[in-house]
Amino acid sequence: MLTPKFGLMFAFVVTQKLLFSANSVPRITDTSQGMADRLIVIPFTQRIRGTAAAVPNIVQEIVKSGGLSVLLNRVLKEVPNIINGIHIPELVQAATKKHMTDTNPVALFVSEMNESGWRIDTGSSFEELAGIKAISDLTTVQVYNLYKEWCKENGYKPLANNTFGRELGRLGYESIQIGMGVLRGKRAYQKIESVTIV
Provide the pLDDT for residue 126: 38
N residues, the chain: 198
Question: Would you state the pLDDT for residue 185?
Answer: 79
Q: Nearest to residue 169, comparing CAs of 126, 110, 83?
A: 110
The reported pLDDT for the residue numbered 12 is 83
Does pTM surpass 0.75? no
What pLDDT is attached to residue 83? 79
Q: pLDDT band at 197, cuts 50/70/90?
A: low
Tell me if the domain spanning 104-191 has CATH number 1.10.10.
yes
pLDDT tens-digit series, residues 91-148: 999 998 888 888 889 989 998 888 877 766 655 443 444 555 778 778 889 899 999 9
Classify residue 193 by its DSSP letter: T
Can you give the residue ranges of every domain in the chain? 33-47+56-97, 104-191
